[in-house]
Amino acid sequence: MLLIRCPHCAAERPEVEFVYAGEAHISRPRDPAVLTDEQWKNHLFIRSNPRGTHFERWRHIHGCGRFFNAVRDTVTDKFAMTYKAGLPRPSEAEIREARS
């Protein structure tokens, strides 16, 4: 079973306690009314879908209930690190350090 570290519980917990919640660091436009249909469509539906490092949201739903962010490799399914929502995207160096 995959173990995921919850940054709030500060513990590795079984994957079945969590749910995936899409790509992280997507901020809602401040004034959606001024957007074109194209821009609004891109905000709602278009995601980066990378091969490799992916920044994504998870929720410890059967635990502390909190949303947080994670860095996961979409090829190996390995988590590099997790961090609290609201924190900036970790740098390449930080991710490399977490992986080693």
Binding site for other proteins (CB under 8 A): 1, 8-11, 13-14, 16-17, 62-66
Q: What are phi and psi of 22, to 5 degrees?
A: 85, 180
Q: Measuring CA to CA, which residue among 89, 94, 72 is closest to residue 2? A: 72
**Which of other proteins, Zn ion, none does 14 bind, CB closer than 5 to 8 A by kind?**
other proteins
For other proteins, the closer CB: 15 or 97: 15
How big is the CA angle at 87 (ends 36 and 46), to the nearest 5 degrees? 30
For Zn ion, the closer CB: 63 or 73: 63
Q: Are 55 and 23 in contact (CB under 8 A)?
A: yes
- Per-state percent for the chain, helix, strand, coil, to nearest 5: 25, 35, 45
Minimum distance of other proteins from residue 35's CB (angstroms)? 34
Among 2-10, 21-29, 45-53, 71-79, which window interacts with Zn ion (CB under 5 A)? 2-10
Which x/- pattern, by CB under 5 A, does the window 48-77 give for Zn ion?
------------x--xx-------------
Q: Measuring CA to CA, which residue among 10, 3, 19, 11 is closest to residue 61? A: 19
Minimum distance of Zn ion from residue 83's CB (angstroms)? 13
